[in-house]
Amino acid sequence: MIPLSDADKPKFVASRRAVDFVEDGMRVGLGTGSTAAWMVRCLGRRVREEGLKIAGVPTSTRTAELARKVGIAVVTLEDAGWLDLTIDGADEFDRDLTLIKGGGGAHLQEKIVATASDRMIVIADPAKDVARLGAFPLPVEVIPFGWQATQKLVQRLLAGMDVDGRTATLRMAGDTPFRTDEGNYVLDLHLGRIGAPRDLALHLNQIAGVVENGLFMDICDTVVVGHADGTVRLIGRAGKEETGRIDLADAESLIADL
């Protein structure tokens, strides 16, 4: 048996705690990324071992593949109509539970799915907890047509915003531009610090060619932070906190899915 890596421990701990919120009959949004992949494995185990009946709406083709592999019934958002809960990772979260998402380039589907849910739970490791957003580059999905013009308009906007950095770089996948599941491009905005996230998000989405930005405001209800020693911290709105503990040995049967 391969041991759980140090990097995976917090991801497993947060995921294992978060799937306790899933109940029989729920329609659940399934996030994207390495942390969300642990959540999908934990949820798959509940489906297989407890007979939990859920419909999962994946936020990417990657997540859809994994969900099917672990035994979760996959449906589209169209089929589900509305969701009870979405569980997803994040690149950063702050005290207001505002998020930066899109490190995996799936933030458009993730935002649609999360906002079509009664509740969003974010699973994270402690490194994602920041006093101020912006060290992680902010992903902005753009239409490929005329993307250089969109990039110029984004950089012009940044000149008047409360941020430290002002460059917008095209995300690459090797020698070619990275493409989202919708076939779009991603500009990564290197801002260093985002002083007024709401202002920035609203202005970005006004630019022709911008499809969606990776700032999630007033969407996340709870962040579950996993720690490598098995402790888990739940942060709710208005700073409400709760702690707990997850048995790391519980990850063993899931390692085979890796």
Ligand X SMILES: O=C(CO)[C@H](O)[C@H](O)COP(=O)(O)O
Question: For residue 225, which of 117, 128, 112 has the smallest C-alpha distance?
Answer: 128
Q: Which one of 25-33, 49-57, 154-162, 230-238 is the stretch in contact with ligand X (CB under 6 A)?
A: 25-33
**In the beta sheet, which residues pair with residue 73?**
55
24 appears as a binding residue in the annotation: no
User: Using the rule CB under 6 A, is 111 a contact of ligand X?
Assistant: no
Which single residue is written with the structure tokens 């915003």?
Answer: 161
- Whether 110 is catalytic is yes
The phi, psi pair for 239, rounded to 5°, reads 70, 10
Pick 94 or 110: Cβ nearer ligand X: 110
List the catalytic residue out of 110, 182, 212, 252: 110
Pick 16 or 101: Cβ nearer ligand X: 101
Question: With left for phi above 0 and alpha for psi between -120 and 50, is residue 182 left, alpha or beta?
Answer: alpha
What one-character-per-residue DSSP string does 137-154 give? PEEEEE-STTHHHHHHHH
User: Using the rule CB under 6 A, is 92 a contact of ligand X?
Assistant: no
Q: Where are the alpha helices (DSSP H) in the chain?
A: 8-18, 34-50, 61-69, 77-80, 107-115, 147-159, 197-204, 252-255
Q: How far is the CB of 76 from ligand X (least distance, A)?
A: 19
Specify the DSSP element, H or E, that contains 94.
Answer: none
User: Using the rule CB under 6 A, is 102 a contact of ligand X?
Assistant: yes
Q: Which one of 64-72, 100-108, 158-166, 223-231 is the stretch in contact with ligand X (CB under 6 A)?
A: 100-108
What's the token pair of residue 47?
A: 């489906």
Query: Taking a C-beta distance cutoff of 8 angstroms, is the pair 76, 110 a contact?
Result: no
221 appears as a binding residue in the annotation: no
Which of 7, 25, 34, 145 is the binder for ligand X (CB under 6 A)?
Answer: 34
Which of 9, 45, 46, 101 is the binder for ligand X (CB under 6 A)?
Answer: 101
Q: Which one of 34-42, 111-119, 155-163, 191-199 is the stretch in contact with ligand X (CB under 6 A)?
A: 34-42
89 appears as a binding residue in the annotation: yes
Which of 14, 72, 80, 106 is the binder for ligand X (CB under 6 A)?
Answer: 106
Pick 113 or 153: Cβ nearer ligand X: 113
User: Using the rule CB under 6 A, is 45 a contact of ligand X?
Assistant: no
211 burial level (CB within 10 Å; 0-12, 13-18, 19+): middle
Known binding-site positions for substrate: 32-35, 88-91, 101-104, 128
Give the interface with ligand X as residue ranges (CB under 6 A). 31-36, 88-91, 101-107, 110
**Catalytic residue set:** 110
